[in-house]
Amino acid sequence: MNQEFIPHLFRTEYQKIVSVLCNLFGIHHIEIAEDIVSDTFLTASETWAIKGIPENPTAWLYTVAKNKTKNYFKRNDIFEKKIVTEIQYNSALNNPEIEIDLSDQNISDSQLAMIFTVCNPCNSDEAQIALALNLLCGFGINEIADAFLSNKEVIYKRINRAKEKLKEENIKIQNPNPTEIQERIDTVLKTIYLLFSEGYYSTSQNTTLRKDLCAEAMRLTYLLIQNKTTNLPATNALMALMCFHSSRFDARTNENGEIILYQDQDESLWNQELIDKGTYFLSQSSNGNTLSKYHLEAGIAYWHTQKKDTTEKWQHILELYNHLIILEYSPIVALNRTYALSKARNKQEAIVEAEKLQLTNNPFYYSLLGNLYSGDDDQKALKHFETALGLASTNSDKNIIIQNIKNITSKK
């Protein structure tokens, strides 16, 4: 049996079955759903090792999961007597021939309900992301710990606390109505955005995991797009943003996993199919009068996929940053805007704007100043790069700074 097959199937099917069973059991009994699905995959691993993989492994999993759920109800009298009234489908549960609906439509509806349950602001951003990775994406504790550069005990506690918080708040697992969508879509999109960012800007050296995080964020966004109630301009803008960023994924790192700066990337490695998809979703996002930060960031990302390094291109990027900094200011946005300013206008103007930021604890601030001063005042550039090196936390960032220092010292 292919050793990679079951983990792959686990990643694609675990979250589907868990979503359906969580929808059935309710928020207070998520662990029961997880136990049944985990046991289903354990049975698959043991049975398929002996008998081989069945012709339709997904259907096999669904059948076993259904039977294990039915058997759970039949043998657990305490559950039936004390908990049955809390479950959504209690009318069906009185029927010993309960039907577990694993149709495509119910899986899609259940996943949508789970997205809005997991992405609840009663939990912190980090807790939402960890829970989303676990329940919505099928990531194990060790994988999540790797993504966060943490240990499994910390992640285990974080996920359990997040579940307990949802129970304390008595959050219902149900498809949101239009009012609830309007109230909470920002939180949902933010969580997915942070999940994607954790993959795209992760300090983990696990390249496969980084790509998986981005792929899962895109999958969840596509689920929202497929549902007419959540197929909103901001949702399409977020999808466009992720497509544009992902299109340059393979060009961003070298064989050692070190970051390759934008200006040094091999453009032949950019994925044109993803660029085209991003353009499509960006077009879809223009419906209505909504302008979100995702629209502006997607526009910036779009211009980064245009290969000609022209002043006009950077003027477009600078204009988008000007709008973004008004809509939602952040120090990183301000820093990135300063780089665009140097490309669209000149280094001197950018230096003035950059030094106003005074981000003295940020290595990227000093790296930017080092780059801006390079060629004009190499002594200042060297000083800024050395400060950046002292603040940098990852080997990849340090290597880039060291190379910049070498480029200046080699001139002498």
Q: Give the model's pLDDT for residue 10.
A: 84
179 and 95, same domain (yes or no): no
Q: Do 44 and 68 lie in a common domain?
A: yes
Please indicate, yes or no, if residue 314 is contained in any of the structural domains: no
Question: Going by C-beta distance under 8 Å and a sequence separation of 6 or more, which residues neighbour residue 165?
Answer: 122, 123, 127
Question: Structure tokens of 210?
Answer: 């980084």
Residue 364, SS3 per DSSP: helix
Its pTM stands at: 0.86
Angle at alpha carbon of residue 362, lines to 360 and 363, rounded to 5°: 110
Element (H, E) at 390: helix 378-391
In a domain, 318, yes or no: no
Mark whether 26 and 77 lie in a shared domain: yes
Beta bridge pairs of residue 253: 259
Same domain? 3 vs 38: yes
For residues 79 and 123, membership in a common domain is answered with: no
Question: Whole domain around residue 389: which residue ranges?
Answer: 359-412
The pLDDT assigned to 205 comes to 58
Q: Is residue 207 part of a domain?
A: yes
**Could you say which of 80, 102, 124 is where a domain stops?**
102
**Number of C-beta neighbours around residue 155 at 10 A:** 24
Question: Is residue 80 domain-shared with residue 144, that is, in the same domain?
Answer: no
User: Is 237 part of any domain?
Assistant: no
In a domain, 259, yes or no: no
pLDDT value for 98? 58
Q: Do 89 and 135 fall into the same domain?
A: no
User: From CA 131, how far away is CA 171, in angstroms rounded?
Assistant: 14
Q: What is the pLDDT along the chain (412 residues), one digit of tens a residue?
A: 555 677 778 878 998 999 999 988 888 889 999 999 999 999 999 999 999 999 999 999 999 999 999 888 777 754 555 555 555 444 444 444 556 889 999 999 999 999 999 999 899 988 999 999 889 888 888 888 877 778 899 999 999 999 999 999 999 898 888 888 988 899 999 999 988 988 887 666 566 557 888 999 999 999 999 999 999 999 999 999 999 999 999 998 888 777 888 888 999 999 999 999 999 999 999 998 889 999 999 999 999 999 888 999 999 999 999 999 999 999 999 999 999 999 999 999 999 999 999 999 999 999 999 999 999 999 999 999 999 999 998 788 898 999 999 999 987 5
Do 68 and 129 fall within a single domain?
Answer: no
Q: Tell me how many domains the chain contains.
A: 3
Residue 93 confidence (pLDDT): 44
Asked if residue 63 and residue 3 are part of one domain, the reply reads yes
**Has residue 265 been placed in a domain?**
no
Domain end, chosen from 188, 214, 231, is at 231
Output the pLDDT for position 89: 46
Tell me whether residue 288 is in a domain: no
Q: CA-CA distance, 251 to 299, in Å (whole number)?
A: 20
Same domain, 130 and 226: yes
Residue 88 belongs to a domain = yes
Which residues contact residue 384 at a Cβ distance below 8 angstroms, ignoring those fewer than 6 apart? 366, 367, 369, 370, 373
Q: Compute φ and ψ for 264, nearest 5 degrees.
A: -105, 5
Q: Are 349 and 314 in contact (CB under 8 A)?
A: no
- Indicate if 76 and 133 belong to the same structural domain: no
Q: Is 227 in the same domain as 120? A: yes
Instruction: Quote the CA–CA distance of 171 and 169 in Å, as a whole number.
Output: 5
Integer CA distances (angstroms), 56 to 64, 95, 99, 155, 401, in order: 13, 29, 20, 34, 52
Please report where in the chains the tokens 């960890």 appear, as a residue.
Answer: 130
CB 108 within 8 Å of CB 175: no
Spatial separation of the C-alpha atoms in residues 198 and 188, rounded to whole Å: 15
Token output for 333: 């946005």
